[in-house]
Amino acid sequence: MVDNTTYTLKEAVEIYLATRQINNKKYYPSFLISAIWSWKNLFKNTIYAVNSQWFTLKSGVPYNYVDMPPNVLRFFSATVVNECGEMIPLFMDNRINIIAQPTSSQKKCGCGACDCGGLCEDINSLTYTTKVLFTISGVDYYEKDWVKVCPNGDILEYRIVPTKKYNTFTGDGGDYNRDYNNDYLIGTSPFQDFTIEYVTTQKIICKLTLLPCGCPENTVDNINLLNNYCGCYLPFNAFCKRKQCNTKVTGEINGYDNLGSIKVSECGTKIYYIPHPTCDGTPPLLPTSLLLNWQTSGENCNEIVQVPEYAIETLFYGIDFNSKRFNNAYSLGEKAESKYNWQDAQNQLVLFLNPLNLDYLAQIQDQPILY
C-alpha cells in the first residue's frame, strides 16, 4: 500500500537545502523553480496521475458537447451510465463530421418566411415512378405514379394505369377440336378486339402538419408518414429517408450497447457526443453528463503542490539535475552524473509504483519459444 504522507513543494525544497547544508535563502527561488519543473516532469512521465470528473452536457451545433478539461496532457476516455447503472465507455469515431456544411441561400420551395430544413426540400423533390404492366406487339405500356402535396397538408397519390377496353366479348376463332365450339390456343389472348385506355385515379394517403407559412414541420410524425407512405417516391439521399449505417461491425468497441460515440473538436476545446440513432426514428435519449478521464499537464504546479513521500527522493535528484545543467560552475562530468542519477531515480519510482514478480519473470524466461 502506498504511504499517504505528503509534503508541499515548498517543504520539499527546504528539506533538500537542509540536506545539502545550504543555509543561504537567496538561492531558494532558483531551487524552487528547479523543483517545479522536476515535479511537472515526474507528474507527466512517471506517476501518470489520472483525473476523473463529471461534466454537464451542453447544447451545441452540430452535436451536444462538454468542454475539454483545463490543462489536459492526455485525454483517455469518456463514459456514460446505461439503464443498468453500468459505466459504458464511448469510443472515438473519427468518421463523424462535426464541421457544419454551408447551406445554400436558395431553397427549393421558394419560402423565405421560415427555416424549412430538410423535410421541405424532400417534399419538393418527390420522384415520378413508372412500371411496365404489359407488352403488346413489342410495345411496353407503363403505369405512372406520383404524389402531390396539397396546401392543407394532404398528400395525394396519383396513378395513370393503362387498361384494355374490350369492344366485344366474342372470342376469336381458334377451333382445333372436333366439338364444333370455339376453342382458344394456349398462350394467346382469345379477345383481340380491344383498345388501350389510360385511367387516372387519386387518393389521400396521409396528412402532414404544416407551419403557418405552409411548409411541413420537421417532426418525427411527419418523417414517419413520409417514410411509410411516400418512401418509394423519395430520392436516395433524402433528408428524412431511413439510412442503414454500419453500426454492427465485428470488433467494434461499443457495439453491444450502442450508446453513442465522441469526437474532439478541431480546436481541441470541445468533446462532441454523438448519440446512436434509434430504430424507430424517435429522438435518442441523451445523457445529462459525461464522465471524462484524463491526465493533467501539471501547469498549475506551485509551492503548495502536494508531493507524496514515496516520490520525495526522486524529486531531490530532479532538483539537483535541473539546478546544475545550465550552471557553468559544474563540469560536463558532474552534469552527466547528475542526469544519470535523475533518470535512475525515475526508474526506481516506476518499479515502486508497478511492482514486478521476479519469480513470474523467471518462469517466463524458461518458457519454450513457439514461433
pLDDT tens by residue, 184-204: 555 556 667 778 888 888 888
The Cα angle at residue 366 between residues 363 and 368, in degrees rounded to 5: 125
- Residue ranges of the alpha helices (H) in the chain? 9-19, 28-42, 117-123, 220-230, 312-324, 332-353, 358-366
Task: Answer for the pair 193, 166: CB distance below 8 angstroms, yes or no.
Answer: yes
The Cα angle at residue 299 between residues 296 and 303, in degrees rounded to 5: 115
Q: Which amino acid is at 304?
A: I
3-state SS assignment for residue 341: helix
What is the length of the chain? 371
Instruction: Give the model's confidence band at 163: pLDDT under 50 very low, under 70 low, under 90 confident, else very high.
Output: confident
pLDDT in tens, 114-143: 665 556 666 666 667 788 888 887 788 888
Q: How much of the chain is helix, strand and coil, in % rounded to 5?
A: 25, 25, 45
Segment 335-359 mean pLDDT: 84
Grid cell listed for 46:
512517471
Grid cell listed for 64:
451536444
**pLDDT for 9 beyond 80:** yes
Cα-Cα-Cα-Cα torsion 347, 349, 355, 357, nearest 10 degrees, comes to 40
Q: Which amino acid is at 217?
A: E
Distance CA 220, CA 107 (A): 22
List b or e across 322-360, with b for residues whose CB sees 16 or more CB atoms inside 10 angstroms: bbbeeeeeeeeeeeeebeebbeebbeebeeeeeeeeeee
Q: How many angstroms separate the Cα of 87 from the Cα of each of 68, 77, 79, 232?
A: 20, 12, 6, 42
DSSP secondary structure letter of residue 62: S
3-state SS assignment for residue 225: helix
Share of the chain above pLDDT 70, in %: 69
Check residue 105 and give its pLDDT.
53
293's torsion region: left (phi>0), alpha (psi -120 to 50) or beta? beta
Instruction: Give the model's confidence band at 332: pLDDT under 50 very low, under 70 low, under 90 confident, else very high.
Output: very high
Residue scoring higher pLDDT (229 or 237)? 229
Distance CA 348, CA 313 (A): 10
Check residue 249 and give its pLDDT.
42
Claim: this prediction has a pTM higher than 0.85: no
Q: How many angstroms separate the Cα of 89 from the Cα of each of 78, 109, 166, 220, 360?
A: 6, 43, 70, 29, 32
Segment 212-224 mean pLDDT: 75
Check residue 316 and give its pLDDT.
92
Check residue 331 and give its pLDDT.
92
Specify which residues 273 forms β-bridges with.
262
